Chain A
Amino acid sequence: MSKRYLLIKLASDKPLSRDQFRIALTDSVRRNFGEIGLSRIDPKVVRYDGTGSRAIVACRAGTANELQAAVALISEALGTPIVPLVVGVSGTIKALGKRRPR
């Protein structure tokens, strides 16, 4: 099944671990779309750069809007306030890697 990849820029006061981000992401998808939505969207953190605060998250094709909405509604990760910004959506990780940060 084809996938979509989201490039997410994370802004937070404290550095965030991959697991903290994964839990916050899964919680937000579950809270907003339920268990069925979670299994349909199937979000996976593919790459995570804690120092550069960038993450690439995969989801099923056709559910990118739902995942972006769920990411927009994350306001904290295990008590740490974060601002997750989706800065790109693509069908391949390679294309996302080419995007230059502003």
Chain B
Amino acid sequence: MAKLIRIAGYSAIGLTIPTGLMRDRIELVKTVFEEAGLETALRIDLTASSRMDLLRLLRRFRNSYDVIAVKCTNQRVATVACRDRRVDLIIFDPTSRSVRFSHPLANLLRGAIEFNLVSSLLKETRTDVFSGIVKQCAIAREHKVKVVLSSGCNRPDQVRSPLQIAALASVMGLSETQSHAGVSATPLSIIKRNLAHRSPQFVEEGVRVVLPKVA
């Protein structure tokens, strides 16, 4: 799978790691991808049932992962996830009737919205998935929110190239600029920002330790 991802044209990937996985197993997974020439960023997909639950999970995991994504399962969780600056990505299930990406949420959003295009669209029943993603794309385009496009693959047969994912998003209604940034600039900026935050030199937003250069 790592080789296929490299052939597809990726230089870095986000690995979604289960919370209970041992550190040595995580390093082993990272090594597999790094040996294929891919940079890796650890990410976690948080699923919370309530506002307090989400805040507790964010406190616990923010400093351990490079990217934090939140699956919005209800309206309250979605509102907190959009507003909280510790959240990098929010994910909506396009077929969910209980919560959907709306104009008020797009106004609140500080991070970026993620679309898992390939894994959603390769399912058998996908008309409602298409429709849900098209609606989300229209709102994202209107409010010019940051978008991250992902294949969401967990099997080698779901791997697609960044060109294809950008093209899919473009067909779904995102602008060319948004869809190309969604597979390149936006995810890269999120990872760079979070790596800077996790470095020992970082003190707080706008403040970092600068050591004098040795002559």
CB pair B171–A85 under 8 Å, yes or no, is no
Contact residues of A between 44 and 95, Cβ < 8 Å to B: 64-66, 68-69, 71-73, 75, 81, 83, 85-89
A-B interface contact total, Cβ < 8 Å: 62
Which residues of chain B (123-148) have a CB below 8 Å from chain A?
Answer: none
Q: Is chain A's binding surface mostly helix, strand, loop or mixed?
A: mixed
Bound-complex Cα distance A75 to B153 (A): 13
Also in contact, A72 and B157, with CB within 8 A (given A11-B4, A85-B8): no
Task: Count B interface residues, CB 8 Å.
Answer: 21
Cα A81 to Cα B122 in complex, Å, equals 12
Q: Which residue of A lies closest to B165 (CB)?
A: A72
Given contacts A72-B118, A83-B159, contact A102 B9 (CB under 8 A): yes
**Cβ of A72 and Cβ of B164 under 8 Å apart?**
yes
Complex interface: chain A residues within 8 A of B76 (CB)? none
Given contacts A72-B164, A85-B161, A86-B164, contact A65 B7 (CB under 8 A): no
Q: Which of B4, B160, B165 has its CB near the most chain A CB atoms (within 10 A)?
A: B160
Interface size range of chain A in the complex? 20 to 34
In angstroms, Cα B121 to Cα A75, docked, is: 11
The docked-state distance in angstroms from the alpha carbon of A75 to that of B156 is: 11
A82 to chain B, nearest CB (A): 8
A75-B122, A83-B156, A83-B159 known; A9-B7 Cβ under 8 A: yes
* Given A75-B157, A81-B157, A83-B159, A102:B164 Cβ within 8 A: no
Q: Taking the nearest CB of chain B, how far is it from the CB of A40, in angstroms?
A: 13
CB-CB nearest in chain A for B162: A86
- Which parts of B171-190 form the interface with A (CB within 8 Å)? 171
Interface centre among A66, A86, A101 (most CB of B within 10 A): A86
A83: chain B residues at CB < 8 Å are 4, 156-157, 159-160
Pairs of residues from A and B, 4 with the lowest C-beta to C-beta distance, nearest first: A68-B167, A72-B164, A65-B167, A69-B171
